[in-house]
Chain A
Amino acid sequence: MSYTYWFIMSVYITIFAVIALDLLERHELGGALEAAVSNNRRLLYIHIFKLLCEMSVIWLIVAFIGQIFMGWISL
């Protein structure tokens, strides 16, 4: 495995960890988050699109790894 591979995988694993922690934080906040979002419309949109972006980046990482296995990206 190349240095590039390990570096990129380290970044991706960290991104996964950040997303997992964010989802845990969201779960722990529960009603407090809903109350905060209902009082602040900017926070509402930030929250919605942040979660959409998190789901999107997970797919992009899956797509990257998939392309390594298919041989379209070589490291």
Chain B
Amino acid sequence: MVDARRIAVTAVTAGLCLPLALFAIVLVPIPGLPAASGFWIPAGFYFPLTLWFGVWGALGGHIATFLAMGYFQGFTLHVWLDGAIGDFIAPITALLIFKLMGARPDLDQKKNRNAWLIAVPVASLVCGLWVHTVNLLFGVITPPFWWVGVTTYFIGDSLAVFIVGTPLLRSLTKFVKQSPMYIWRD
């Protein structure tokens, strides 16, 4: 069921992540890889928002990435879509890992913290594999840069999510729990 609150969550997530995505690409570029960043700070925001609000948070991250990459003239629609789909897949992967492990995003128990420690690097790796394999198949990058891309996404995305996402989950989940849009009900 789509209602205004869900659309608002997506819009706010997208609005919040858009400048972060844009300047993450500008500030920490990876030579040889189009529209890539070695420290993907918006992931630190849309991961928690996805763990709180589900697919609507992930959709916000997807829109932000799509628009941020669109800023750079000369990149093809494929590059925009590829990265944006990768940034949709990553938080959804983390969400699925939390579901499979029966964990919750408040990180107050060992099980929840373990899920977070597993979900973030796995989701970052899945994102890196998706983005750079598609880039390679479309001839956007050369094979040596596939390894560079996957490794930097794995490390750079994971670092950003751990540094920004962890305090956000720890400090805000107790408030978000009171929202009817919070997707976890015991």
Contacts and interface: CB of A to CB of B under 8 A. Distances in A.
B is bound to A:
yes
A52 B168 contact: yes
The winner among A49, A56, A70, A72 for most chain B CB atoms within 10 A is A56
A39 B174 CA distance: 14
State which size class the interface on A falls in: 20 to 34
Given A52-B45, A67-B26, A72-B26, A44 B175 contact: yes
B53 to A, nearest CB: 10
Contact of A44 (B12, B23, B26, B178): B178
Contacts of B45: 52, 55-56
Interface in B99-140: none
Interface in B162-179: 164, 168, 171-172, 174-176, 178-179
A38 B171 CA distance: 15
Given A63-B27, A67-B27, A37 B178 contact: yes
B16 interface: yes
